[in-house]
Structure 1
Amino acid sequence: MSPLSTVVVVTWRGRDHVTACLDALSAQKSPHRTIVVDNASDDGTAALISGHEVVRLSSNRGYAGGLAAVLAMVETPYVAWLNDDAVPDPSWLAELERALKGDPGAAAATSSIQLTDGSTQSVGVALTADGYGRDVVLAGREVFGFCGGAALLRTGVLRAVGGVPASFFCYYEDTDTAWRLRLAGHRVISVGPARVRHRHGASTRPGSVLFHRWNERNRLLMLLRCAPLPVALSQLGRFAAITALLPLRENVPDAANFRVGLRVRVLAEVVVRLPASLWQRARITTTAGRRRVWREWAGR
Structure 2
Amino acid sequence: MSGARTPLAEPDRVPGPAPDVTVVVVAYDAADRVGACLDALRGQELGGLTMRVVVVDNASHDGTADVVARGYPEVHLVRSPVNTGFAGGNNLGLRTAGGPWVVLLNDDAIPEPGFVARLVGAISDAAHDVAAVNATVLLAARFRPARPGDSEGLLVHGPHGDYVADPAGEVRLVNTTGNVVRTDGYGVDRGWLEEHGRHAPDREVFGFCGAAVVLRRSALDVVGLFDDDFFMYYEDTDLSWRLRLAGFRVEHCPDAVVHHEHGASSRESSELFRFHDARNRLLVLVKDATPGLAARCLARFVLTTASIAVRRSQPAAHVRTRLRVLASCVRLAPRLLARRRAIGRSAAVSRADVERLLVRPSAEGPGTYRRVPSD
Tell me the TM-score normalised to structure 2 length.
0.76
In structure 1, the residue corresponding to 2:338 is in which secondary structure?
helix
Which residue of structure 1 aligns with residue 34 of structure 2? 18
Note if contact 1:127-1:297 (Cα within 8 Å) is conserved in structure 2: yes
Compared CA separation, residues 255 and 120, structure 1 to 2 (3 A):
farther
Q: Which runs of 5+ in 2 are unaligned?
A: 1-16, 142-171, 192-198, 362-375
Distance 1:193 1:255 in 2: 45
Note if contact 1:77-1:154 (Cα within 8 Å) is conserved in structure 2: yes
- Supply the AA of the counterpart residue of 1:274: A
Work out which structure has the larger RCO, using CA pairs closer than 8 Å and 6 or more positions apart in sequence: 2
Residue 206 (structure 1) aligned with residue 268 (structure 2): yes
In the TM superposition, what is the alpha-carbon distance from 1:298 to its structure 2 partner? 3.8
Q: What CA deviation, in whole Å up to 9, does each residue of 1:102-127 have, x standing for no partner?
A: 11221100010011223111111111
Q: What's the Cα RMSD here?
A: 1.6
In the TM superposition, what is the alpha-carbon distance from 1:249 to its structure 2 partner? 2.5
Note if contact 1:111-1:150 (Cα within 8 Å) is conserved in structure 2: yes
Number of paired residues? 297
Which residue of structure 2 aligns with residue 90 of structure 1? 113
Which residue of structure 2 aligns with residue 145 of structure 1? 207
In the TM superposition, what is the alpha-carbon distance from 1:73 to its structure 2 partner? 1.8
In structure 2, the residue corresponding to 1:245 is in which secondary structure?
helix
Residue 260 (structure 1) aligned with residue 319 (structure 2): yes
Distance 1:63 1:186 in 2: 23
Distance 2:316 2:327 in 1: 20
In the TM superposition, what is the alpha-carbon distance from 1:253 to its structure 2 partner? 4.9
Residue 195 (structure 1) aligned with residue 257 (structure 2): yes
Compared CA separation, residues 209 and 131, structure 1 to 2 (3 A):
same
Could you list the runs of 4 or more consecutive aligned residues of structure 1 that deviate by over 6 angstroms after TM superposition? Answer: none
> Which structure's CA Rg is the greater one?
2
Distance 2:140 2:333 in 1: 39
Note if contact 2:27-2:58 (Cα within 8 Å) is conserved in structure 1: yes
Note if contact 1:114-1:197 (Cα within 8 Å) is conserved in structure 2: yes
Residue 122 (structure 1) aligned with residue 138 (structure 2): no
Q: Which runs of 5+ in 1 are unaligned?
A: none
Residue 215 (structure 1) aligned with residue 273 (structure 2): no
In the TM superposition, what is the alpha-carbon distance from 1:47 to its structure 2 partner? 1.5
Which residue of structure 2 aligns with residue 274 of structure 1? 333
Distance 2:36 2:314 in 1: 38
Note if contact 1:131-1:298 (Cα within 8 Å) is conserved in structure 2: no
In structure 2, the residue corresponding to 1:297 is in which secondary structure?
coil
- Supply the AA of the counterpart residue of 2:264: A
Which residue of structure 1 aligns with residue 137 of structure 2? 113
In the TM superposition, what is the alpha-carbon distance from 1:92 to its structure 2 partner? 0.5
Residue 68 (structure 1) aligned with residue 91 (structure 2): yes
- Supply the AA of the counterpart residue of 2:175: Q
In the TM superposition, what is the alpha-carbon distance from 1:209 to its structure 2 partner? 0.9
Of 57, 60, 76, which aligns to 1:41? 60
In the TM superposition, what is the alpha-carbon distance from 1:8 to its structure 2 partner? 0.5
Of 126, 142, 159, which aligns to 1:103? 126
In structure 1, the residue corresponding to 2:45 is in which secondary structure?
coil
In structure 1, the residue corresponding to 2:185 is in which secondary structure?
coil
Q: What CA deviation, in whole Å up to 9, does each residue of 1:199-237 have, x standing for no partner?
A: 111111112111010001101001111111121122111
Distance 2:203 2:54 in 1: 29
In the TM superposition, what is the alpha-carbon distance from 1:247 to its structure 2 partner? 2.3
Which is richer in helix? Answer: 1
Of 330, 334, 358, which aligns to 1:297? 358
- Supply the AA of the counterpart residue of 1:263: R
In structure 1, the residue corresponding to 2:329 is in which secondary structure?
helix
In the TM superposition, what is the alpha-carbon distance from 1:2 to its structure 2 partner? 6.1
Of 277, 298, 301, which aligns to 1:236? 298
In the TM superposition, what is the alpha-carbon distance from 1:101 to its structure 2 partner? 1.1
Percent identity over the alignment is 43
